Amino acid sequence: MIAVFYQTHLPLRAGIGNLAQKSSFAVEGRLGVPYLLASHYFEHFLDTIYFTLLCLILYDLSVQRPNPAKMKA
């Protein structure tokens, strides 16, 4: 819990806008926090799909299914 607080507090104290890259299209060289959050989520959107599929595949492989050959005997 302390680590989460530290990771949240430090960027806000330093000014999250100062930590972000400055785009050429940004008004006065500044980007709003909603824009920064949306663009950061977009960067990791494919990661979300990849890890979801990976978890589903690993889960499917780990589930034991009944063996039909043993059931007939």
Q: pTM value?
A: 0.45
pLDDT one digit per residue (tens) for the chain, 73 residues = 788 788 777 777 777 666 666 666 777 777 777 877 888 888 889 999 999 999 999 999 998 777 777 766 5
Sequence-distant (≥ 6) Cβ neighbours of residue 19 within 8 angstroms: 11
Secondary structure letter of residue 23 according to DSSP:
P
What is the per-residue burial (b if ≥16 Cβ within 10 Å, else e) of 8-41? eeeeeeeeeeeebeeeeeeeeeebeeeeeeeeee
Alpha-carbon distances, residue 41 vs 6, 7, 38, 47, 64 (angstroms): 21, 18, 5, 10, 36
